Amino acid sequence: METNDEAPHLAQSAGAVFAGWQEAFTARFRRHGLPEERSRRLAALVVAAEEGAVVLCRAQQSIAPMEAVAAEIHDVLTLALSIRP
């Protein structure tokens, strides 16, 4: 996300939204038995990958990047949750 010196509240708002999403994912992963640090890393991965996919979809005018990211996130989370400590 680019910053806008004339409207810094936009970056702050976006940051708060992303932080909220990450906290929600972290809490969900914790409820499924993953350690705190692993849960936080996975939450950051999910949010960053999905947001990156949005950018790619716009640039490529295709939903293919989102489909690819969704499939990979599914596989990563399935594995992470199946081998939790």
> Given its phi and psi angles, is residue 64 left (phi above 0), alpha (psi -120 to 50 degrees) or beta?
alpha
- How does pLDDT run across 25-42, given as a tens digit for each residue? 999 999 999 999 999 999
Which pLDDT value is given to residue 4?
Answer: 65
- How does pLDDT run across 12-25, given as a tens digit for each residue? 888 899 999 999 99
pLDDT surpasses 80 at 6:
no
Which pLDDT value is given to residue 57?
Answer: 97
Which pLDDT value is given to residue 2?
Answer: 60
Amino acid at 82: S
pLDDT surpasses 90 at 83:
no
Domain boundaries, given as residue ranges, for the chain: 8-82
